[in-house]
Amino acid sequence: MEHLRFAAVPLLPLTFLLCVGMLLFLQSAQSRPISVPEVPAYHALDVASSLRETDTAAGVAEYKRETKPRRSPWSVEVVHRDALLLKNAANSTASYERRLKEKLRREAVRVRGLERQIERTLTLNKDPANRYENVAEVDADFGGEVVSGMEQGSGEYFTRIGVGTPTREQYMVLDTGSDVAWIQCEPCRECYSQADPIFNPSYSASFSTVGCDSAVCSQLDAYDCHSGGCLYEASYGDGSYSTGSFATETLTFGTTSVANVAIGCGHKNVGLFIGAAGLLGLGAGALSFPNQIGTQTGHTFSYCLVDRESDSSGPLQFGPESVPVGSIFTPLEKNPHLPTFYYLSVAAISVGGAILDSIPPEVFRIDETSGHGGFIIDSGTVVTRLVTSAYDAVRDAFVAGTGKLPRTDAVSIFDTCYDLSGLQFVSVPTVGFHFSNGASLILPAKNYLIPMDTVGTFCFAFAPAASSVSIMGNTQQQHIRVSFDSANSLVGFAFDQC
């Protein structure tokens, strides 16, 4: 860029010109193509190593949290659901192919659920008077009839935290796509099977119900009153739901206990992965756990998601020390219509080191008027979904760069698959996300070309979205430390920090 010269220009015009120059720079940064001269064109995929991981049977060893060193007083461990050895778990001895099939079924349900949730919220925003029309009977029956999510088995990643005083440890589903934390509670009108005894609030000295006229009750998306107490309803697009009393309780993470956390005490619960006691909402909304403890942790947290077939664990950590030095930072976008979700400022995608000019930057932008569009990062979605035009461009470029690899039939939601049986290593085009501030995230090859079976069928792990919203899934996030700094509206990515 040429340097501007301001010799012999009075002070006021100088200030004016500097402001105009900065505005022009910001505008051009948003509209012009991004160059990525240092992005490698190809990655090596270790086919043999990926296939060895598929031979590891799920549930061979029980996940033991104490085998991992504590990272900080605000740290707990995260494990994939397939690594848990849970009583009566149907997938404990299932083959890799069966577990993958079930995972992709959950994926499809999750994505449809998110899309329905987004559309429903945007519709209600247009007509706020109808926001609570479906909770009129929560007083009498703790929620209406919802299609059971038990068969879908929501939730991909879990952690174990302490609940109450004295503390009782419980497995919890982690979800960056929701805000309200809740656990199953006695007395149960309807509860699913879980690994630990169901929490009984009468045994906890720190449990306290929330009044219906409290500010925290009014922050719920769906609530009602019963005998002066606040009732909540948390429903999910996959058919899972929880309804019951809204309360405050002490939660324990590692060696740190946090008092007066607003959580749901679910007396009627359907769905979620059999074994988990409830859900820990890590979303961007006011009632999410990170925001409730934000004054103590600087509104920062991070996680690292382990491999799909790993029986190891990664960290979920809160506080400024959770953000690794050397992280790649990019702005978090805000969608006032949908405050729960974390939106990435994706401006371009590259394949084989080249920016795809056929994908205009506005494809991933949030429509400020309607709230549609944008690019969400989500812990519960399995594979990245791109709006159809962007997906087609990415897939076509990847296919063009893998012309020498033998193709095979489509598998499930994946239309681009290869027969890599008998091969040790293959070269595949790099895939990268490029953000509005010029930062780039170049994915490891194993995060986008994944095995479908134990013999060598691999597929390109992206899929088209059925709506205007794109989603970065957890397959693309694996073994990357993902940090959220809500105070500064930043998201960070760091390799080799798990």
Contact 45, 425 (CB under 8 A): yes
The residues assigned a catalytic role are 175, 378
Contact 277, 184 (CB under 8 A): yes
The pTM of this model reads 0.83
- Looking at 299, 318, 337, the residue that finishes a domain is 318
Output the domain CATH number for residue 134.
Answer: 2.40.70.10
Could you tell me the two tokens for 101? 């099939």
Domain that holds residue 371: 33-52+324-495
Q: Is residue 404 domain-resident?
A: yes
Q: Is residue 459 domain-resident?
A: yes
Q: Tell which residue, 135, 104, 366, 74, has the closest CA to residue 268.
A: 135
C-alpha 198/C-alpha 186 separation (Å) is 7
351 and 429 both lie in a single domain = yes
How many Å separate Cα 465 from the centre of its chain?
16
181 and 291 both lie in a single domain = yes
Tens-digit pLDDT profile for the chain (498 aa)? Answer: 433 333 333 333 433 333 334 333 333 333 334 555 478 899 999 999 999 888 754 443 333 333 343 466 788 888 877 766 444 445 455 788 887 887 787 777 778 777 777 887 887 765 554 444 444 333 333 222 222 233 334 578 889 999 999 999 999 999 999 999 999 999 999 998 888 999 999 999 999 999 999 999 999 988 899 889 999 999 876 678 899 999 999 999 888 999 999 999 999 998 755 678 999 999 999 999 999 999 999 999 999 998 766 667 889 999 999 999 999 999 999 999 999 999 999 999 999 999 999 999 899 999 999 999 999 999 988 899 999 999 999 999 999 999 999 999 999 999 999 999 999 999 999 999 999 999 999 999 999 999 999 999 999 999 999 999 999 999 999 999 999 999 999 999 999 888
C-alpha 92/C-alpha 274 separation (Å) is 12
- Looking at 318, 333, 355, the residue that finishes a domain is 318
